[in-house]
Each structure stands twice: as C-alpha cells, then as structure tokens.
C-alpha cells in the first residue's frame, strides 16, 4: 500500500471528504486528491501535520507498519481498567508489579526482556 493509499484510508476511516480533510491541514481538496493518487509526494511537513491533526501513527503513515491511529492515554487507561476488573490474575499482578517497582527494578526487568528477545531472535 502506498502512502497515498494510506492517506485515503485515514480520510475514509474518519468519514471526511477531500475538502474537509484538506481544510484541517490548510490545503485544497485538489492537493489531497493528488497525494492520494500518488501524483504528488508526501512532504515531511505534511506527514507531521496529518499525524498531529488526526492522531495518525507516523510509522504507519510512512511505512505501513503498525496501527493507523496512535493510542490515546484514555484508550490506554481504559485497557488497564478492563484488565484490573477482569479475571486474569497474572495480568493484574504484572501491572501491580510494574506500578510498585523501583527504578532499579524496572531497569533490571528491561534487561531481562532484552535478553529474552535476543534469545528468541537467535532461534
């Protein structure tokens, strides 16, 4: 999928016309149409504007990797709340452990995770 196609996906997922999308970015609907069709290259400034204005993930827009939209703090807290009222004690305990861990404990945990990842990559 091209960057232009990803821009169109963003616009469509937000239910915006070319005109409304362009207005939010300070450009015309023709400019957006040309970006979507690949007739114009996406500048770094326009990339950052789209990400900032619409909450789009920079990596997704530029490379296609990851999710379209950046997770907001509200989304994150909602997920934590669901975990804490759920039945999965392991998840609850992991969150509690991280919450009460010292900075040194967090650094040690980070080193363990890095080590684990390196072992998996060797396989």
Confidence of residue 60 (pLDDT cuts 50, 70, 90): very high
Is the pTM for the entire model greater than 0.85? Answer: no
For residue 80, the model assigns a pLDDT of 83
For residue 123, the model assigns a pLDDT of 74
All domains in the chain, ordered by first residue? 3-63 (1.10.260.40), 73-122 (no CATH)
Please state, for a pLDDT cut of 90, what percent of the chain lies above it. 70
- On whether the CB atoms of residues 20 and 12 are closer than 8 A, the answer is no
For residue 34, the model assigns a pLDDT of 97
User: Which residues touch 50 (CB under 8 Å, ≥6 apart)?
Assistant: 7, 10, 25, 56, 61
* Lowest model confidence (mean pLDDT) among 32-46, 67-81, 103-117: 67-81
For residue 88, the model assigns a pLDDT of 83
Q: How far apart are CA 76 and CA 87, in angstroms?
A: 19
Characterize 62-71 residue by residue with b for buried, 16 or more Cβ atoms within 10 angstroms of its Cβ, and e for exposed. Answer: eeeeeeebee
């Amino acid at each position: 999928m091209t960057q232009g196609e990803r821009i169109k996906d963003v616009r469509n997922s937000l239910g915006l016309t070319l005109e409304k999308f362009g207005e939010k970015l300070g450009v015309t609907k023709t400019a957006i149409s040309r970006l979507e069709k690949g007739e114009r290259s996406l500048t770094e400034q326009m990339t950052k504007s789209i990400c900032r204005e619409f909450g789009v993930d920079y990596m997704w827009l530029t490379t296609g990797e990851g999710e379209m939209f950046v997770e907001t703090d509200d989304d994150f807290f909602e997920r934590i709340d669901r975990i804490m009222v759920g039945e999965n004690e392991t998840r609850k305990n992991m969150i509690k452990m991280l919450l009460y861990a010292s900075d040194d404990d967090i650094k040690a945990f980070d080193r363990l995770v890095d080590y684990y990842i390196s072992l998996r990559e060797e396989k």
